[in-house]
Amino acid sequence: MCRAKISPNLKKIFEKGERGEKLTLLLTDGRRIECRFEMLTYANKSDTDDTDVMVARIKYGDGSGELLAEEDIKEIL
């Protein structure tokens, strides 16, 4: 059986999320967000590139959510 390779930041988010911890993340676009981890999944790299990349599905307190790739995350606080 082949195991997926999880990038460092996504692994930290996954581990904190599995423990039920709330996450505070600093993103590369300058946002500082508070969220909860939902799951790891795959998404297309871009609208023009069908390459799959691993992403974390995160959820905000208002019920909305977002997919974050490794390169979207600057720091896990």
- Classify residue 58 as exposed, middle or buried by CB count within 10 Å of its CB (0-12, 13-18, 19+): buried
Closest by CA to 23, choosing from 32, 31, 39, 34, is: 34
* DSSP letters for 27-40: ETTS-EEEEEEEEE
pLDDT digit string, tens, across residues 39-56: 999 988 777 877 889 999
Asked which of 1-5, 36-40, 73-77 is least confident by mean pLDDT, the reply is 1-5
Residue 1's pLDDT band, with cuts at 50, 70 and 90, is low
Give this prediction's pTM: 0.85
